[in-house]
Amino acid sequence: MSETNSAAGAAATHRYTAAMAADIEARWQDFWDAEGTYATPNPSGDLAGSAAAVDRPKKFIMDMFPYPSGAGLHVGHPLGYIATDVYARFNRMTGHNVLHTLGFDAFGLPAEQYAVQTGTHPRVSTEANIENMKAQLRRLGLGHDRRRSFATIDPDYYRWTQWIFLQIFNSWYDDEAKRARPIETLAEQFASGRRQTPDGRPWAELNAAERADVLGGYRLAYASDAPVNWCPGLGTVLANEEVTADGRSERGNFPVFKAKLRQWNMRITAYADRLLDDLDALDWPEAIKLQQRNWIGRSEGARIDFPVGDDHAITVFTTRQDTLFGATYMVLAPEHDLVDAIVPAAWPEGTHQVWTGGHATPAEAVAEYRKQAAAKSDVERQAEAKDKTGVFTGAYATNPASGERVPVFIADYVLMGYGTGAIMAVPAHDSRDFAFARAFELPMRCVVEPSDDRGTDPADWDDAFASYDAKIVNSAAGTVSLDGLGVVDAKTRITEWLAERGIGEGTVNFRLRDWLFSRQRYWGEPFPIVYDEDGVAHALPESMLPVELPEVDDYSPRTFDPDDADTSPETPLSRNEDWVHVELDLGDGPKRYRRETNTMPNWAGSCWYELRYLDPHNAAQVVGPEAEQYWMGPREGQTAGGVDLYVGGAEHAVLHLLYARFWHKVLFDLGHISSFEPFHKLFNQGMIQAYVYRDSRGIAVPAAEVEERDGGYYYQGEQVSRLLGKMGKSLKNAVTPDEICAEYGADTLRLYEMAMGPLDVSRPWDTRAVVGQYRLLQRLWRNVVDEDTGEVTVTDAEPDEATLRALHKAIDGVTQDMENLRFNTAIAKVTELNNHLTKAGGPLARSVAERLVLLTAPLAPHIAEELWRRLGHRATVVHESFPVADPAYVVDETVTCVVQIKGKVKARLEVAPSVSDEELEKLALADAGVQSALGGAGIRKVIVRAPKLVNIVPA
């Protein structure tokens, strides 16, 4: 406690001080827990709560749940939690049944690394961290329904994570029905002959392993040997979303290599269209929607076959099929399967020296170039740098439209993982191709007429001419001509022409890749999968869930030299032989199986937690249908259903938010839930930043010990620099909520965090400014309680007009602000009202005092409860009604509106300055004087100039 506080406390024993706040807050927190004040009932009645509540409109308000780190919370963490708590409290007071709780996302790397360092089991340290974080959060007075809380590491929870995995594993995506369906329905299609097996053999002739293989090609969760992101430094593989733009691990910043490894994947690409289209139904920040759209990356274009000799054809993906006549060479990704098949034994006669790279044979050139390309990341390969590299394969293909022979190159600017891994190069109209053609002295042909004055000979140009808004030229041969068409029409024409000949078709390509779903980690959900002696994967039956994590002696994945790409992963779970080998009866008698030893990625648990909050103790179902429909089902204005408000950081745009949408859609398709989107409204809160002070060596010094003098900053006598940055332990500038609660109380901390600025904007923390909100609460207290006697000072007198105006304007403004998550301006309005009341002096009218307390309750719930009780109420303020503004006191003043008929004044109305044209017209026509002046005559026209004039022209 600061000196001023204790001094003040001594002067007036009933003053609101930190000590009093601590007492009030602890008492009400205990009361809320004991009474179950925040217990939210389900319609089915299995979770008790106020029975009347389920008849009210529901509001499901949710935070992105925290990872319980060992460092505990700093004041930046609860910003969003306080905001959702204020909003939840406001909604309880405006007649909603509010679901608000918080769980813990507790699998993941930090606990595992801590375990590796200290030998403590990750469960032990994680559970301790959770307890610590729970205590810190409880101290803030968050109104969570604690019965609905859980951690993703609870076997009761991850049992259902594994169950969902099985649902995904046991389904396939039916492109005709455009939804996931149980895998048996696919097997039936093969069995009945409705669908052909890949090699055309009848289903009955395939043995079990062959059938498993075929079905595996369709399952939404599947193991494959595709190239994955292997990170030797971390000892695990990573999802694309976990690799940075420069090809390194997001965690740890280690090099990431492409390696072919057998891994689990989720077929999220099957949902690309729906993930894209359904964004339109969501109330999300545009920036996040855009990031998802770009990540999914839908491109409309065409696939076109270019024959190579008599036996091969290169299929390209292009978004500019209209430029087909301008394709003067082709490029394959160096890893493309066709390369080896088309490379001739020797260079064709007279091959240009620049094309061969000085190599004796095409095979040698290709082998050499592949080596170089393998050492680069995709991003390096795609860099916009003008110096394009590559080498001629020695082969030629035929441009199907012009009939010309075009040379085939390999070059690393074409990626294997996109489109077909092959392109038709149109140097005149694509910058990368232009640069390459310049370097390799390849021909260029202008087929899109430049709209500027560069002329039509690309030899004179500095760069390609890329435009969609131009005419096609030089594009006619045989049976097809595009000349004179615009780009869009030319695309349609050439696509039809290709399709008629069976050498191309319109197609849609996505940037999105399947989601790599296995990790070589200990601290994650085990897969509910075992392998038989033939290596066939079997899903465990539901009755064998959960598959619990076994004890191991060594939690660490095997890590390697970060730069050594020739290594491969080894899982910690594989070290426990007793666990790995099991005898099970999976329907055909007891057999030996080997368990899957990879674990799920740390995103798994957060893919569906919103559903478990609805029905946390359901042992029979992932979520009961009644609870799901009530809390998340589609309704008016919310066609996809989903959480009413989801608050969290913008950094989750493509990882968590994309994965969760995908799982939700699978569960929807399989009929387990009625909503097809998890989060209807998303809001990204800003960050709380903090000053970082660094000494002359650039090392951060403890911010709390820095002094400010003469416009400079000093630490132990030495001048230090100051910059705004992140808050955290490592930058030695973390401020904990515990410190602020001890110094001022949780209500002050809540107010300060909410008052700092608009919720979506980042703001710098300033401990010295916290006291401002403390003073507000002290004035509020003084307006209701006598500091010397502790008596409530309100009277039963009627408030004066000015007070009523101030009160109702505040109620009106605060209500609107609360609805729109503008808590900073809501606090400004409460402050203004409180100041008005302080200035007016004298005891408050009870009706004013009570409404002031109710207005404050969502923001500062402890002091509000205390004052409410002292004002004589027995029940908690939490479920009281929020005050309603009387419009008569809300309007500032009135203006006089003149109503004319045929230009003559017939009436004068006193109206609000903000009145709308429509309202004013209604008021004017309803006026008795106007009615009698019209004398029943019809109206031809009404001219309204709100707020001052209405002119009526009778018929």
Binding footprint of ligand ANZ on the chain (CB under 6 A): 299, 317-320, 323, 333, 414-415, 418-419, 421, 423-424, 426, 429-430, 466, 509
The whole-angstrom separation of Cα 432 and Cα 445 is 15
- Given the complex with ligand ANZ, which of 414 and 848 has the nearer CB atom? 414
Q: How far is the CB of 754 from ligand ANZ (least distance, A)?
A: 43
Q: How far is the CB of 486 from ligand ANZ (least distance, A)?
A: 15
Among residues 798, 790, 780, 779, the alpha carbon closest in space to that of 870 is found at 790
Question: What strands, in cross-sheet order, belong to the sheet with 515-516?
Answer: 221-224, 263-266, 515-516
Q: How far is the CB of 503 from ligand ANZ (least distance, A)?
A: 16
For helices 737-744 and 18-35, give the axis angle rounded to 10 degrees: 110
Alpha-carbon distances of 442 from 45, 329, 352, 355, 858, rounded to whole Å: 75, 8, 10, 10, 70
Q: Which residue has the tokens 């990341």?
A: 377
What one-letter code names the amino acid at 81? Answer: Y
Specify the pairing of strand 391-398 against strand 405-410. Answer: antiparallel
- Given the complex with ligand ANZ, which of 414 and 529 has the nearer CB atom? 414
Q: How far is the CB of 268 from ligand ANZ (least distance, A)?
A: 18
Q: How far is the CB of 422 from ligand ANZ (least distance, A)?
A: 7
Q: How far is the CB of 559 from ligand ANZ (least distance, A)?
A: 32
- Given the complex with ligand ANZ, which of 120 and 299 has the nearer CB atom? 299
- Given the complex with ligand ANZ, which of 306 and 630 has the nearer CB atom? 306
Q: How far is the CB of 271 from ligand ANZ (least distance, A)?
A: 19
Q: How far is the CB of 421 from ligand ANZ (least distance, A)?
A: 5
Establish whether the linkage from the previous residue to 590 is cis, with ω within 30° of 0: no
- Given the complex with ligand ANZ, which of 246 and 718 has the nearer CB atom? 246
Note whether 140 and 75 are within 8 A (CB): no
Q: How far is the CB of 420 from ligand ANZ (least distance, A)?
A: 7
Q: How far is the CB of 426 from ligand ANZ (least distance, A)?
A: 4
Note whether 366 and 391 are within 8 A (CB): yes
SS3 62: strand
- Given the complex with ligand ANZ, which of 423 and 703 has the nearer CB atom? 423
- Given the complex with ligand ANZ, which of 333 and 891 has the nearer CB atom? 333
Q: How far is the CB of 456 from ligand ANZ (least distance, A)?
A: 15
Q: How far is the CB of 323 from ligand ANZ (least distance, A)?
A: 5
Q: Which residues pair with 584 in a beta bridge?
A: 591
Q: How far is the CB of 512 from ligand ANZ (least distance, A)?
A: 12
Provide the strand spans (E) within 451-503: 476-477, 480-481
Give the total residue count for the chain.
955
- Given the complex with ligand ANZ, which of 321 and 520 has the nearer CB atom? 321
- Given the complex with ligand ANZ, which of 452 and 577 has the nearer CB atom? 452
Note whether 568 and 230 are within 8 A (CB): yes
- Given the complex with ligand ANZ, which of 318 and 559 has the nearer CB atom? 318
Letter string b/e over residues 129-167, b meaning 16 or more CB atoms within 10 A of that residue's CB: bbebbbebbbbbbbbbbbbbbbbbbbeebbbbbbbbbbb
- Given the complex with ligand ANZ, which of 382 and 793 has the nearer CB atom? 382
Q: How far is the CB of 396 from ligand ANZ (least distance, A)?
A: 18
Q: Residue 699: in which H helix or E strand, if any? A: none
Name the token pair of 203. Answer: 């289903």
- Given the complex with ligand ANZ, which of 82 and 332 has the nearer CB atom? 332
The rounded radius of gyration (Å) of the Cα atoms in the chain is 35
Greatest extent of the chain over all pairs of C-alpha atoms, in Å? 108
- Given the complex with ligand ANZ, which of 467 and 914 has the nearer CB atom? 467
- Given the complex with ligand ANZ, which of 410 and 414 has the nearer CB atom? 414
Residues near 342 by beta carbon (within 8 Å), at least 6 away in sequence = 308, 309, 312, 393, 395, 408
- Given the complex with ligand ANZ, which of 426 and 946 has the nearer CB atom? 426
Q: How far is the CB of 298 from ligand ANZ (least distance, A)?
A: 9
In Å, how far from its chain's centre is CA 114?
28
- Given the complex with ligand ANZ, which of 317 and 396 has the nearer CB atom? 317
| Sequence-separated contacts (24+) of 169-173 with Cβ below 8 Å | 169/219, 169/220, 169/221, 169/222, 169/529, 169/539, 170/219, 170/539, 171/219, 171/220, 171/666, 171/669, 171/670, 172/215, 172/218, 172/219, 172/220, 173/218, 173/220, 173/267, 173/270, 173/271
Residues near 646 by beta carbon (within 8 Å), at least 6 away in sequence = 62, 63, 64, 610, 679, 680, 681, 682, 683
Q: How far is the CB of 419 from ligand ANZ (least distance, A)?
A: 3
One-character DSSP codes across 545-581: ---PPPP-S--PPPP--TT--S-----GGGG-HHHHE
Q: How far is the CB of 282 from ligand ANZ (least distance, A)?
A: 24
At residue 908, φ and ψ (nearest 5 deg) are -125, 130
The whole-angstrom separation of Cα 6 and Cα 3 is 5
Note whether 121 and 94 are within 8 A (CB): no
Residues near 17 by beta carbon (within 8 Å), at least 6 away in sequence = 1, 5, 6, 8, 9
- Given the complex with ligand ANZ, which of 139 and 429 has the nearer CB atom? 429
Name the token pair of 839. Answer: 């200035």
